[in-house]
């Protein structure tokens, strides 16, 4: 069993501040300091460099942090799976979805759980960069995401199949669209483009710029980032800008909003993706749903 106090070390390694680490765990700074000192004494190495003004990890401390963080994740996962077994579930799987995919997967997972009521399914939502990283580290067994996420893996390292496809649309408030006579080019040149794209990763600003260049022949100057579809559409409805979103987003089917198909009408594939080495039988079962293999 992992000593729960190891979280003191992990927190301190991340924030590098004894006061903050103590506050997070609702203990005194003395308790944190004593635990770290005892841990260093037990290991026979210094994990932190301390001065009156700063705290930093030693090289050994950085190595220990990465290993312990890895072990901690798998220990937590083991506990969850044990509880699932104890609660008489026949299996347990952790699924990740992107910021948009919740809108078009209810029927899929609803049917799966109806057919397999003894299987425990936990579903988590993350931006694509975090989604792919958690699949790589084993924190997730399977993800549902834009096929662009497959670029984060070597071809031989993953298995995937398309769950559904949908085109993208430019969405604008009706009064904003009418101001430009429903001209997509004029709207994009003059209005803010609100996006959930990240600075890096599969769904990056660079990817968005490439899409815009291919679709419209130019890249708008005014691009604003946000971190959720809810915030994105709130800004659109408040006439603070426009957005490019998948066609299956039900919230865009509003009489006060206008949806413009992007030039070319190309559909985006949304895939089930799992690591080839993942041996969780429930992940394989989900991958095979509707293929005649299960």
| Domains of the chain, first to last | 6-68 (1.10.10.10), 81-164+269-288 (3.40.190.10), 167-265 (3.40.190.10)
User: Closest by alpha carbon to 225, among 250, 246, 206?
Assistant: 206
Question: Has this prediction a pTM greater than 0.85?
Answer: no
pLDDT tens digit at each of 294 positions of the chain: 567 788 899 999 999 999 999 999 999 999 999 999 999 999 999 999 998 888 999 999 999 998 888 888 777 777 776 776 666 567 889 999 999 998 899 999 999 988 888 888 999 999 999 999 999 988 999 999 999 999 999 999 999 999 999 999 999 999 999 999 999 999 999 999 999 999 998 999 999 999 899 889 999 999 999 999 999 999 999 999 999 999 999 899 889 999 999 988 789 999 999 999 999 999 999 998 877 665
Neighbours of 197 (CB within 10 A): 22
Q: Tell me what pLDDT residue 120 has.
A: 87
pLDDT of residue 84: 64
The pLDDT, as a whole number, for residue 265 is 76
Q: What is the pLDDT of residue 232?
A: 95
CA–chain centroid gap for 5, Å, is: 28
């Amino acid at each position: 069993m992992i000593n729960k106090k190891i979280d003191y070390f992990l927190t301190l390694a991340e924030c590098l501040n004894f006061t903050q680490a103590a506050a997070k765990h609702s203990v005194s700074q003395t308790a944190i300091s004593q635990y770290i000192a005892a841990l260093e004494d037990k290991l026979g190495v210094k994990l932190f460099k301390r001065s009156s003004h700063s705290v930093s990890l030693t090289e050994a401390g950085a190595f220990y942090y990465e290993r312990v963080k890895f072990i901690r994740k798998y220990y937590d996962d083991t506990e969850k799976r044990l509880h699932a077994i104890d609660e008489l579930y026949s299996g347990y799987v952790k699924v990740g979805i992107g910021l948009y995919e919740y809108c078009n997967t209810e029927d899929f997972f609803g049917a799966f759980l109806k057919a397999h009521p003894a299987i425990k399914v936990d579903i988590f939502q993350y931006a694509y960069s975090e989604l792919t990283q958690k699949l790589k580290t084993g924190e997730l067994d399977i993800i549902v995401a834009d096929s662009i996420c497959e670029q984060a893996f070597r071809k031989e390292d993953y298995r995937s199949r398309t769950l559904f496809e949908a085109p993208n649309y430019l969405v604008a408030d009706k009064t904003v669209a009418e101001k430009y006579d429903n001209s997509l080019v004029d709207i994009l040149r003059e209005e803010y483009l609100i996006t959930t794209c990240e600075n890096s990763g599969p769904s990056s600003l660079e990817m968005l710029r490439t899409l815009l260049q291919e679709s419209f022949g130019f890249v708008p100057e005014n691009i604003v980032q946000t971190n959720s579809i809810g915030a994105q559409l709130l800004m659109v409805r408040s006439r603070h800008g426009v957005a490019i979103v998948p066609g299956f987003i039900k919230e865009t089917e509003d009489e006060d909003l206008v949806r413009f198909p992007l030039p070319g009408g190309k559909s985006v594939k949304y895939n089930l993706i799992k690591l080839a080495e993942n041996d969780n039988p429930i992940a394989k079962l989900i991958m095979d749903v509707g293929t005649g293999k299960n």
